[in-house]
Structures are given as structure tokens and as C-alpha cells.
């Protein structure tokens, strides 16, 4: 490992400084990350946005997702740059910076990729994140509860067509009841995807939903 570090040193994603092989950014650039600090707030913007779309208990985001920001670069490297270890790093930051003790969550559930998309990418970035977080929090994780039914996003222009598509975008694969589910995704933008998944869980027997994302736009 020492020889590999000498020949191919790990470098900060932001400033290109040489850093430890288990890190993703240097200390200076880490301080530039815009963390949300949602655990200090009774309410937050993500929670307010989600409640316009579906009923939920709580919503937490680790970072803000801003153009050309350090946080955006980190997530893009996880999703598209094959930097798989970033999933564990983000999970560590999440466990350290967000308080899950009061949520009373029973199960972590990831928003699924279509199998074809996962095959193209070679991995599911949410699995890397959620599996590590599951071990940290000692909460079970289920990657198969929700199935994505379509490979491509809807191209419909009419609102009604878009709504019908969203309602059928996901399906639930097994019965679930009396569970508080923490839905996990990478970036929250419009909330349409998260809402489509949440309603699949909520329409089952007496379930509750909370939301966790790596970053919110």
C-alpha cells in the first residue's frame, strides 16, 4: 500500500493536494463544504418541501448541493467517477453530523436504480452509502423493497401524463406494515422521485416515512 501511495498518491478533489488514502478532500477544502446542520433545527427546508408532496415524519440532508461546490464534486465522483469509497466517507459524516436517535427508524430503504442503469454504472452508489450507514446506526437496510419499473425518465409534456408516469414509476415488492422507513437518496431536487417511492410505502399498512439525502439542491 505504501508503494502504491508513492506512485499514485490520493489527491484532494477540490485543490489537488496530496491527502491520506482514506480521505476525499483536504482539511481546508472540507471546511468549505456547506453542511446543513439539520439536527439543530426543529424544521428545515427539505422537510417543508417534502410535506408539500407526501406526509412524513422528518427529513434530513447532509449537505447543500450547489453548482461547482465541493459537495457537488464529491457526489459526482461517487456517482460517475467510480470512487466507491466516498459512499462510506459520506456515511461516516452523516452519522457524525446528523442525529438519528430521536427518529425511531425501523428500516433504511434506498431509492432504486433500474437494473440496466446499475449494470452500466457497475454499482449502486446508494448501496455503498446506506449499507455503511446501516452498520453505523444498527438499523437494517433493504435494497429490494422498492422496484423501479422504467429505465428512462418520462418525456411527457402534459401534467396529467407526467403524474400517471410518476405513479407507476416504482412498485413495492413485498408486504410491509407498521414500519417507520427512512428513505435514502443522493440528491433532492424536485422531490418527484422521492414522492413516488414514499407513496408506495405509505399506501401499505400503517407505515411512516422519513427522508435522508446526501444533499439537497
List, in order, residues 6 or more apart from 11 with CB less than 8 Å away: 17, 18, 19
3-state secondary structure string across 12-27: CCCCCCECCCCCCCCH
Task: Using pLDDT thresholds of 50, 70 and 90, give the confidence band for residue 118.
Answer: confident
pLDDT of residue 164: 53
Boundaries of every domain in the chain: 1-32, 35-216
5 vs 81, more confident: 81
Residue 140 or 115, more confident: 140
- What is the dotted CATH code of the domain comprising 35-216? 3.40.50
Cα 10–132–135 angle (5° rounding)?
Answer: 140
Residues 23-36, mean pLDDT to the nearest whole number:
95
Q: Are 47 and 56 in contact (CB under 8 A)?
A: yes
Show the cell assigned to 85.
Answer: 469509497
Give the list of residues 6+ apart from residue 85 with CB closer than 8 angstroms, or none.
22, 24
pLDDT digit string, tens, across residues 84-117: 999 999 999 999 988 888 889 999 999 998 788 8
Confidence check: pLDDT of 130 > 80: yes
Please give the backbone phi and psi of residue 128, each rounded to the nearest 5 degrees, phi first. Answer: -60, -40
Per-residue pLDDT tens over the stretch 47-61: 999 999 999 999 999
* pLDDT, tens digit, 9 for 90 and up, residues 149-200: 887 654 444 455 555 556 688 999 999 999 999 999 999 999 999 999 999 9
Residue 101 confidence (pLDDT)? 80
> Is-above-0.75 flag for pTM?
yes
Amino acid at each position: 500500500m505504501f508503494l502504491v501511495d508513492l506512485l499514485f498518491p490520493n489527491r484532494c478533489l477540490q485543490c489537488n493536494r496530496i491527502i491520506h488514502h482514506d480521505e476525499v478532500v483536504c482539511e481546508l477544502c472540507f471546511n468549505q463544504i456547506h453542511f446543513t446542520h439539520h439536527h439543530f433545527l426543529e424544521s428545515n427546508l427539505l422537510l417543508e418541501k417534502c410535506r408539500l408532496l407526501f406526509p412524513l415524519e422528518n427529513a434530513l440532508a447532509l449537505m447543500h448541493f450547489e453548482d461547482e461546490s465541493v459537495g457537488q464534486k464529491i457526489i459526482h465522483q461517487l456517482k460517475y467517477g467510480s470512487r466507491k469509497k466516498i459512499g462510506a466517507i459520506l456515511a461516516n459524516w452523516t452519522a457524525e453530523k446528523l442525529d438519528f436517535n430521536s427518529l425511531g427508524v425501523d428500516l433504511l430503504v434506498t431509492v432504486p436504480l433500474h437494473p440496466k442503469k446499475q449494470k452500466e454504472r457497475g454499482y449502486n452508489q446508494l448501496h455503498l452509502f446506506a449499507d455503511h450507514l446501516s452498520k453505523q446506526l444498527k438499523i437494517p437496510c433493504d435494497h429490494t423493497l422498492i422496484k423501479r419499473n422504467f429505465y428512462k425518465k418520462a418525456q411527457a409534456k402534459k401534467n396529467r401524463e407526467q403524474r400517471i408516469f410518476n405513479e407507476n414509476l416504482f412498485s413495492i415488492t413485498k408486504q410491509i406494515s407498521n414500519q417507520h422507513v427512512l428513505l435514502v437518496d443522493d440528491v433532492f431536487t424536485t422531490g418527484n422521485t422521492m414522492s413516488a417511492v414514499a407513496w408506495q410505502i405509505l399506501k401499505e399498512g400503517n407505515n411512516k416515512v422519513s427522508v435522508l439525502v446526501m444533499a439537497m439542491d
